[in-house]
Amino acid sequence: MRLLPVLEGLHSAEAFNPGFLRAFLERTRALEAGPAEFQDALAGRVIATVFEEPSTRTRLSFESAALRLGAGVISVADPKTSSAVKGESLRDTARIVSGYSDLIVWRHPRDGASRLAAQAAQVPVINGGDGRIGHPTQTLLDLYTLYREWGDLAGRTVGLMGDLRNGRTARSLAWGLALLEARVLQLPAPGLAWEASFEQRIADRAGYALRHVRHPLFRTWTGEETARVLEPRLATQGWLFGDGVPLLERLDALYLTRLQEERGAAPRDGVYPGLRPAHLADPLLEQCLLLHPLPRRQELPEELDEDPRARYFEQARNGVLARQALYLAMLRAERWPLPELTPLPAGHPDAELGVCPNPNCITRAEGIPVPWRVAGKVQRLFLCAYCDALLPVDYAGCRSTLRLHPLHSPSVARIHPENLRPFRAREAAQRQGYTWSEA
């Protein structure tokens, strides 16, 4: 069974779907319950770990997972020792490492690096964290940690706290939680919230709606008493008849994250949310599991480590199991298959769109045109197919009728995504034979 027919491998949590995630969680539990069945499952295989950013947990747990399944491991643990420092492109590196291995785990500072590497590689690529946008295997171990506690995640409320804008673990986890019908409470540091287009993509894909809830602790953490929560649309309808912003009475898990200083992040007024021992006495957190992808800073003091709600060290340990389950699905699918992921399109390169607006996009580093893809149902969004940045598009054309519309006109929502073409300027569209339609 192939994973991701267009971009071979696992690059984004957006590629998950409920069937894949549920089967994955069950497989990981089987691995935990009976590791002997899987011993030597990857004998004779070679896994390459190429880490162009520092890592303790991700690289070592991927390597441990490979060794426990009988595979060999080759590694670039320090980017200063690879030929990237001599100016070798990501695409060339991917081609070369493909010749030495059966699967590559890649960590890279640039947004979208994993998808580009996958297009050049001849073996599957797994994203071990790229830039600000994705860390999908962290999500798999995060979800497994919650699944071990609760079984079904549906209806649970999970708060994501800290640097949501720059933190790839929280971004990826938001997809996983929404696809398993959990509520996603956002507790960002001031000025470090997600952009609206990211929220919209999750809401569209999962059938979710946005609403607000309040709690006095939120003010302590974020400076605001209200917080945004993404939840199944039907759950939101039940609240429409209430007055004002409802009080959140119970949080099932809190996922803390550190400030991503290496990406230039700085919270407004220097305020950064974190837990203090006194917060744990609040009824909101009575049953609340505490998770953190680690490494931690001041947001998670060591005094909390012995609290019975703390799960972050167990969470890190689960990384080996989760990564074993993924290797089996990708390299031994004939024996241990998982349902297919939802393909992310490779996108359409278009010189008219210029460069990607995201200065950290891999297309900028590699000097290649930005390919676009379509997201959104009610309101169409054109995104960079590598880094998911919202492209500055004001018009959309229909390839079959050659009519051009303002991007936010209702007509655009009715055009099949395959027939859409983005334009920044009307003149560019008219040069291509499109005729203007106000509607």
Interface with ligand CP (CB under 6 A)? 55-58, 129, 138, 293-294
Nearer to ligand CP, 9 or 129 (CB): 129
Residue 425: both structure tokens together: 């300027």
Residue 34: both structure tokens together: 């009976």
Set 57, 228, 263, 377: catalytic member: 57
CB of 112 vs ligand CP, minimal distance in Å: 18
Q: Which residue has the tokens 């039940």?
A: 238
At CA 188, angle to CA 182 and CA 189, rounded to 5? 160
CB of 150 vs ligand CP, minimal distance in Å: 21
| DSSP bridge pairs for 405 | 396
Question: Does residue 377 have an active-site annotation?
Answer: no
Nearer to ligand CP, 57 or 348 (CB): 57
Set 45, 107, 132, 380: catalytic member: 107
Short-list 157, 155, 207, CA closest to 187: 157
Strand ranges for 215-287 from DSSP E: 226-232, 253-256
Nearer to ligand CP, 200 or 360 (CB): 360
Exposure letters 353-368 (e unless 16+ CB within 10 A, then b): beebebebbbbbbbeb
Residue 169: both structure tokens together: 């673990």
| DSSP bridge pairs for 125 | 9, 104
Expressed in angstroms, the distance from the first to the final Cα of the chain is 44
Nearer to ligand CP, 39 or 56 (CB): 56
Nearer to ligand CP, 129 or 371 (CB): 129
Classify strands 183-188 and 289-291 as parallel, antiparallel or unpaired: unpaired
357, amino acid identity = P
Nearer to ligand CP, 30 or 310 (CB): 310
CB of 127 vs ligand CP, minimal distance in Å: 11
CB of 412 vs ligand CP, minimal distance in Å: 38
Residue 213: both structure tokens together: 């809830």
CB of 233 vs ligand CP, minimal distance in Å: 32
Residue 205 Cα to chain centre, angstroms: 14
CB of 28 vs ligand CP, minimal distance in Å: 17
Nearer to ligand CP, 75 or 401 (CB): 75
Distance CA 3, CA 369 (A): 26
Question: Does residue 57 have an active-site annotation?
Answer: yes
Short-list 125, 80, 81, CA closest to 101: 125
Residue 358: both structure tokens together: 């995201």
CB of 53 vs ligand CP, minimal distance in Å: 8
Set 11, 27, 28, 58: catalytic member: 58
Residue 99: both structure tokens together: 């010749």
Using CA atoms, how far residue 254 sits from 284, 366, 386, in Å, is 11, 38, 30
Question: Does residue 107 have an active-site annotation?
Answer: yes
Cβ contact 111:366 at 8 Å: no
Nearer to ligand CP, 157 or 318 (CB): 318
CB of 60 vs ligand CP, minimal distance in Å: 8
366 backbone dihedrals φ, ψ, rounded to 5°? -95, -5
Question: Does residue 58 have an active-site annotation?
Answer: yes
Set 11, 45, 110, 135: catalytic member: 135
Which residues are annotated as catalytic?
Answer: 57-58, 86, 107, 135
